[in-house]
Every structure is written in structure tokens, then in C-alpha cells.
Amino acid sequence: MNANKKIKVYIVEDDPVQLQVLNDRFSINNPEYVVNSFPKGELLLKDLQKISHPKNSYVILDYFLQSNDNPEALNGNEVIELLHEQFPSINIILFSAYEGDEGKPFSLLKSEGKILDFIKKSEHAYSYLVNAIRLDHIKTEVHKKQRRLRFLGYLILLVLGAGVVFMAFLMKCKSYHL
């Protein structure tokens, strides 16, 4: 797969074991992915600043990133807000062992359009993550092809319309000369 066509996966996870497992699974099992991993959201944001438009990009984001070792770290909601401000085209998959925060279910973030999906950490989570990314990527590619076909259809109609006008012009000129 062309390097520009590869799907970029950014993993933000403060648990080093979970981060390594996800990084290894995505890197080893999926040659169509370019994987970057970060232990905190601030490092992700700093890395994304170097990229003008992160297309074909997905962020797998742990929600609870604050710990005793890093109590000042941005939490998942803060990272989501900053990603939406700075990189509105990036796709975010929230990845957490919990269903919500402060009584607000994470599924609401999906219905509000702030995240692509919410996947709860489990033994099947990796498969769900891969499926969510592949499904969204396929939908995106289908929409791109539909736009190209629509443009091609409009172009054909324009050419046909110009041909009809030109033929009418030629017929009028021909009748004028008779």
C-alpha cells in the first residue's frame, strides 16, 4: 500500500502494558497501518502539530489519562476538545474500561458527533477497534468514489449540453447560408 494511502493510527494510553500490546497488535498484524503511540494526550497533540492535515487518521484515546504519576495530564475529554479545535477531520475512537464519567455515558459523545466510536476495554477490544477503523475507512473511500462519479456525471452532462448547443448553432448557420 502506498505510504500516502496508509491509515495512520495514533494510540494514546497511559498504561504502558496496554500501550505496548495495542502498538504491537496494530503494527504486526496490519501492514496498511502506520502506528504511533503516546502515553499522554499532550504528546499526541504536539506530534500532530507537525502534520498539516492528518488525513486517513484515527486516534484511539484512553479517557482516563491522569494518574498519581501524572496528575496534571489532560483527560480524554480535554484531548477530544483540543483535537476537534485543531484537527476537525481526525477520527477519534474512545477506548476505556469504564462506560462513562461523572454520570455521563461515553456513548453520548458518539451521538453528539465528538467521537467516531466508543469501545470498552475487553479481551475482544482489539477486534472491535480494527473493525471500527476499517468500516469507517471503507465508508470514507466509498464517499470519495461517489463524489468522483457525481463530478464525472456532471462533466458528461456539461459536454453533452455544449454539444447540443453547438449542433443547434451549426444548424442555424447552415440554414442561414441557404
**CATH number, residue 120:** 3.40.50.2300
Which residue type is seen at 131?
A: N
Domain for residue 98, yes or no?
yes
Joined grid coordinates for residue 116: 467516531
Domain for residue 112, yes or no?
yes
pTM for the full predicted model: 0.77
Chain centroid, CA 160 distance in Å: 38
Domains of the chain: total:
1
- 110-165 pLDDT, tens digit each: 877 888 889 998 888 888 999 899 988 888 888 888 888 888 888 888 888 888 88
102: closest CA among 59, 60, 64, 62? Answer: 64
Domain for residue 177, yes or no?
no
Domain for residue 72, yes or no?
yes
Paired with 12 in beta bridges are 38, 61
Domain for residue 61, yes or no?
yes
Structural domain boundaries enclosing 79: 7-143
Tell me the helices (H) and strands (E) count for the chain, helix number first. Answer: 5, 7
- 19-61 pLDDT, tens digit each: 999 999 888 877 888 999 999 999 999 999 887 666 779 999 9
Domain for residue 175, yes or no?
no
Chain centroid, CA 119 distance in Å: 15
Domain for residue 2, yes or no?
no
Domain for residue 83, yes or no?
yes
Interior angle at CA 76, CA 74 and CA 78, nearest 5: 55
